[in-house]
Structure 1
Amino acid sequence: MALQLTTFKTADDAAQALALQVSKDLHQVLAQEQERALLLVSGGRSPLPFFAALAQQPLAWENIDISLVDERSVRPDHPDANAALVREHLLCGPAAAARFLPLMSHVAAATDPWLWARRSVQVANANPALVKPAVIVLGLGTDGHTASLFADAPQWHEATTTERRYVALQPGQAPHARVSLSLHALAAQHACYVWSGGAAKLEVLRRASTLAAAVADGSLDAATLDGAGAIARLVADPGVILKVYHSQF
């Protein structure tokens, strides 16, 4: 179990620091004579300062692929599409030279969001370009979810036990069917960055750490972690390091 928490006063400070670290990681992968490096990012509006900072980093962007940790089952121009935010706020400036790999496939099932999500999972799991990320940057919900691993989804058990990389979920309290990295895929990365901000999310991290420690010393049953969300499951995994960049404001 390892949760490395670095706290910053503002979101801009956190964004600049995380962008610099991610840039170093991507540069190192490319320097190891790998032809391409894959970066997976989370959507939503909270990471936009990080996107803006990362887009200006001096990298060989033409050799970098960018895709998503999770996506909503909506068309790419929909206001809730994570892809739309990435295209607008990350694929700009120097980073415009990167190649974007969307998670939602181009299939006729787009009129049925759940069918489209399940088909897109099949396509993503068969795509060799999405197999080996160099860097994963996760978000964090106040309910403890990360990626789109919502504990209230009927597919929660499958999403947290399957060895497939991508899964389809239907969150109970969040809109839209989703495509998401599975818990196994996140744990297999071994080290992930987490973008976080505000007192409520800091409390989520503290609770996850407390529960994980209790599970580790045997004073708490591991099943309790499900109620604290996917982030608690990752914190409790001895093979995972979460490097959290947290802004106070």
Structure 2
Amino acid sequence: MPQIALVTGASSGVGEALSLLLTDRGWRVYGLSRRSVELEGVIALPADISDAEAIRRAVGQLLDREGRLDAVLHCAGVGGAGAVESMPEEQARQVMEANFWGSWNVCQATLPYLRKSPRARLLLVSSIAGHMGIPFRSVYCASKAAVIALSDSLRLELRGSTVQVACISPGDIATNSIATQYRQPAGDLDPLYRERYRRADEAMVNNVDQGMSARHVAEKMAAILERETLSPHYVIGEPVQKLSTIAQRILPGRAWEWVLGRYYS
């Protein structure tokens, strides 16, 4: 029988590419997203990950049809930019609701069924930004750091079960994420921040424009999914991005802040 996978964020980016890739490889894929999408061979499950009850209903529909669940690949998430001092609380909360609480909701809704699979896999997508603080991306970094901590806790809690958990931290991906996320207008910021915010925002837009393809990240995740034993963490990106997660841990704090500040200046 085909393996059953739930992929979140299936309407675009990595989630869409991964849904199609796994389908081509013989998986039966359910693609969950806020809006129903038509992807060849993928069964659509419309639901907002920040709505716990909607996620439970969607997973219930999957179980009613299949009776089992073998893998969850949680790709859904949102970005956001602004200064801590002045970013609207509503916008900041939406980022945390989607990225952290969305991950929490997906885990709570699926783990009881994943644990019944003889070879269960749970892949949570964080970000390289979750390993460090990036100027004017504070709530995004915090939400993705929370996903890393969540995955670490889950692995310990799930010892003795059949579920293997891995956290995936990609670097910049060439998607429409910048265009669809909230970015605080530079004119709303205090003059202390304004020019540095503009430069940091331009750097972020440029990095995304030149980022990896969603297909590339999807292929890496599909390869991880097929491994017999999963490592706790995987970083996907350019060598300099991978090195950044190591440098952040080993460089003295002031030295690392200088490096990061130069990068986004």
The alignment's TM-score, normalised by the length of structure 2, stands at 0.31
Higher helix share: 2
Structure 1-normalised TM-score?
A: 0.33
Relative contact order, CA 8 A, sep 6+: which one is greater? Answer: 1
Asked which structure has the greater CA Rg, the reply is 2
